[in-house]
Amino acid sequence: MKEKEIQEAINSHLETKLGISVKDASNRDIFIALSCILTEKINVDWKLTQEFYDKNNEKQVYYFSMEFLLGKLMKVHLLNLQMLEPAKKVVKKLGFTLDEVLACEHDAGLGNGGLGRLAACFLDSMASLQIPGHGCGIRYKYGLFEQRLINRNQVELPDYWLKDDYVWEHRKPDESVEVKFGGTINMKEENGRLQFYYENAETVRAVPFDVPITGYNNQTVNTLRLWSAESSIDAAAYSQNELPQYNDYLEYKRSIEQISEFLYPDDSHFEGKKLRLKQQYFLVSAGLQSIIRSFKTNYFKSLSEFSSKVAIQINDTHPSLVVPELMRLLMDEEEMGWEQAWSITTQTVAYTNHTTLSEALETWPVDLFSSLLPRIYMIVEEINERFCQNIWFDHKQFRNEIPELAIISYGQIKMAHLAIVGSHSVNGVAKIHTDILKNKEMKHFYRLYPAKFNNKTNGITHRRWLLQINPELSRLITSAIGNQWKERPKDLIKLIRYAEDPSFQLKAKEVKTYNKQRLARIIKAQTGLIVNDQSIFDVHIKRLHGYKRQLLNIFHIIYLYNTLKENPDLDIIPRTFIFGAKAAPGYYFAKQVIRFILSAADIINNDDTIQNKLKVVFLENYNITLAEKIIPAADVSEQISTASKEASGTGNMKMMMNGALTLGTLDGANIEIKDMVGENNIFTFGLTSDEVLHFYHHGGYNAQDLYQTDERLQSILNQLHDGFFGNDEKDFKDIYYNLLSHNDEFFVLKDFNSYEEMQEFVDQTYRNQQKWMKMSITNIAHSGKFSSDRTIHEYASEIWKVSKSPVFSR
């Protein structure tokens, strides 16, 4: 669309739909007008894409995920439809600024962190690579809570993201399906088949809301289908035996709507609540019914071809009920026999593992599970029975492992085992993570089914995380190597020629400084703090978790502070430490760490004697939109998880792509970043995952010894214990005891020395700006490998067996 067209469309929208003229319009009016213009254009391509897929009988991919952390979408659509520049000009001409207009969109925060953002990046890459791939999720009424920091405490507010209407969604009531919970199952033999009847089951109406997912410059529009729970029967039908009670009805309606009410705010932590299991089955059952329905209406094919036309990827074990639910639908509804249904199910489903943390493993008590999902439980029992029989008779060498491998044991259902047994592919999300799955966490399964296991290192969409959030750097890259990197991110490697080019270095440095100044203004506006844009911006942004070790970072900051107090003239490069992190509301220790960082920040930021050499900033409400503002300004990317604990990480990739240097442990995808850039272009430190795992198995680490021998640690720990950080001094004793009495589960003290040494080396390196900029440009040049386009290519060719399906050959 050209400028003139956009301008006319905005004017016409304001006049005819809102009855106002431009001079009376608000930012939000312009936002709505733009969204309508985009929606009209997108809808045309959406319909064409659907018709094209139908006509060509293309295999469809469905990505099932309990989370989609989309963030804002307007800029994505403008970019994809080649309308960003003209829209910017028109909006300016009308007296507005595009950034302020775009800010009117509420973040779609239907996810906790990395796992949900991965799902969003995958949707973007599937559409941009012209792969027929769709998302299947839940339309939570409340997304991830909004974080406020009040008196140094995290306070959670509900995120009612739908309050102004969500402009991208389309409610499709005609495509609703029913999902049943509870009750009892009656079996009858009819025409030689067992039929299953539900008695007293609760029936929930699942209503889909479709969100278009546009591809970059290619007319492909795929679908993210989000399900919402509504009560399916009217008041009169509700109570058959008694007079309908209005209050009962309202309560009933509320209890149904609860299913899609809110996102569980736990990252990497399993919460065995009945409502969560309900959400999972709701997603899976509604999603599968809708897939089967469209399969049947579009192809009129027998379901025996299902697995050649449908691939289902499950994002962690949360949607692993797809296995028994697909079995149920194929057998009970489609009258298929067990063997055929099992073969179709396992050939359709593929499972992605996201963590080896034991506290994240999903296991459901049989009692809860069987009462909520009686028919599904029967099927899971049968899957388990047949699986164990199969080992006993056909894999005799594994007989002793049956108790460990079984899906149901000691009254618990192990969802990971169900997902592995019921799928044809099990993948980890970074090389080291997949190796740990194969050799440790799932070693028996790996020996049993070696061919199922594979690696798919995560990625991020370079369109959002570079092109969109860092236009200045993008322009600089394009001026050097041309436009092709936008569609072929591996082309970024051409930048390597410029790594030592003084003029390119200077320009890259100017871009970084510009982005730091922009972030400095945001920091000033949000916190009142003035930070030095010549200081090193040292960034630690991610969920707050013990294994991510924000504690190690703040310990080092306090060490620097203590050192400066003794020697204020110490020659260090000024640093601005920037944190952003939400703690799960029930995660006491994580909330203590937030309090601790904020308390230390107060002391450090207000101490005149250290000559402004250190500033500590904790930005409130870390989410996609805030990440987009911080990442282009990062000099140092803190990726300091306890080795073996972070499956992949994707924040590491976003910052690398924007020219930050990684200071990290040999964990997750940090290792692959190091493999790409070489060890001279990354700062690594700390225990290796083998060493960590060895300590866990064989002992040999004593945190008390370090307290006794390392004076730096002793000072900090004593400060914690003695109330140096003020407020309620008993608070930080919990951290003290966590480290010393509980032997420092995440090796914070153990890795302190090597972290501190590497931080000193970061300081030394920054003094040589030619070297630093060379490292920075080298990182950008190698970041193409971490585009989710590469990841999706691998899933498509190795797991889904789908290929590119260009809606139109341009």
Ligand X SMILES: *Cc1c(COP(=O)(O)O)cnc(C)c1O
Looking at the Cβ atoms of 395 and 629, the one nearer to ligand X is 629
User: Contact positions toward ligand X, by CB under 6 A?
Assistant: 113-114, 117, 542-543, 623-624, 627, 649-651, 654
Catalytic residue among 309, 328, 486, 548: 548
Residue 113 beta carbon to ligand X: minimum distance, rounded to whole angstroms: 4
Catalytic residue among 141, 354, 750, 782: 354
Residue 360 beta carbon to ligand X: minimum distance, rounded to whole angstroms: 14
Q: What are the strands of the beta sheet with 408-409, ordered from one edge?
A: 363-365, 412-414, 408-409
What are the start-end ranges of the E strands in 488-610?
Answer: 536-541, 575-580
**CA–CA distance, 297 with 301 (Å, rounded to integer):** 9
354: annotated active-site residue: yes
The enclosing H or E element of 213 equals: strand 202-214
Looking at the Cβ atoms of 546 and 649, the one nearer to ligand X is 649
Catalytic residue among 59, 77, 516, 543: 543
Looking at the Cβ atoms of 656 and 713, the one nearer to ligand X is 656
How many Cβ atoms from other residues are within 10 Å of residue 681's Cβ? Answer: 22
Greatest distance between any 2 Cα atoms in the chain: 91
352: annotated active-site residue: no
Question: Which residue has tokens 């033999």?
Answer: 189
Q: Who contacts 2 (Cβ-Cβ below 8 Å, separation ≥6)?
A: 86
Handedness of CA 277, 460, 639, 688 (dihedral sign): positive
Residue 295 beta carbon to ligand X: minimum distance, rounded to whole angstroms: 34
Give 298's Cβ-side CA count (13 Å radius).
20
The enclosing H or E element of 110 equals: strand 108-110
- Report in angstroms the alpha-carbon separations of 429 from 293, 355, 453, 688: 32, 9, 11, 18
The enclosing H or E element of 232 equals: none
Residue 653 beta carbon to ligand X: minimum distance, rounded to whole angstroms: 8
**CA–CA distance, 694 with 701 (Å, rounded to integer):** 10
Looking at the Cβ atoms of 407 and 792, the one nearer to ligand X is 792
654: annotated active-site residue: yes
Looking at the Cβ atoms of 308 and 625, the one nearer to ligand X is 625
Residue 625 beta carbon to ligand X: minimum distance, rounded to whole angstroms: 9
Question: Which residue has tokens 């966490």?
Answer: 441
* Residue type at position 535: S
Residue 114 beta carbon to ligand X: minimum distance, rounded to whole angstroms: 4
Looking at the Cβ atoms of 32 and 647, the one nearer to ligand X is 647
- Find out whether 547 and 590 touch, Cβ atoms under 8 Å: no
**CA–CA distance, 769 with 508 (Å, rounded to integer):** 11
Looking at the Cβ atoms of 391 and 619, the one nearer to ligand X is 619
543: annotated active-site residue: yes
Q: What are the strands of the beta sheet with 636-639, ordered from one edge?
A: 614-619, 575-580, 536-541, 636-639, 661-664, 683-684
Residue 109 beta carbon to ligand X: minimum distance, rounded to whole angstroms: 8
How many Cβ atoms from other residues are within 10 Å of residue 55's Cβ? Answer: 9
Catalytic residue among 549, 654, 674, 774: 654
Looking at the Cβ atoms of 77 and 542, the one nearer to ligand X is 542
- Report in angstroms the alpha-carbon separations of 2 from 25, 29, 36, 238, 506: 22, 21, 16, 55, 35
Residue 649 beta carbon to ligand X: minimum distance, rounded to whole angstroms: 4
* Residue type at position 375: R
Residue 770 beta carbon to ligand X: minimum distance, rounded to whole angstroms: 29
- Report in angstroms the alpha-carbon separations of 212 from 42, 171, 523: 8, 12, 34
Looking at the Cβ atoms of 32 and 108, the one nearer to ligand X is 108
Residue 631 beta carbon to ligand X: minimum distance, rounded to whole angstroms: 8
**CA–CA distance, 583 with 586 (Å, rounded to integer):** 8
Alpha helices in 198-337 (DSSP H): 235-238, 246-257, 274-299, 306-309, 322-328
Nearest CA to 690 among 743, 643, 755, 641?
643
Alpha helices in 373-441 (DSSP H): 374-394, 402-405, 415-421, 431-436
Residue 78 beta carbon to ligand X: minimum distance, rounded to whole angstroms: 20
- Report in angstroms the alpha-carbon separations of 157 from 116, 316, 563, 675: 20, 27, 39, 42
Catalytic residue among 363, 457, 650, 662: 650
- Find out whether 83 and 6 touch, Cβ atoms under 8 Å: yes
Catalytic residue among 542, 545, 645, 785: 542
Looking at the Cβ atoms of 639 and 805, the one nearer to ligand X is 639
- The residue sitting closest to ligand X, measured at its beta carbon, is 651
Looking at the Cβ atoms of 445 and 755, the one nearer to ligand X is 755
Catalytic residues: 354, 542-543, 548, 650, 654
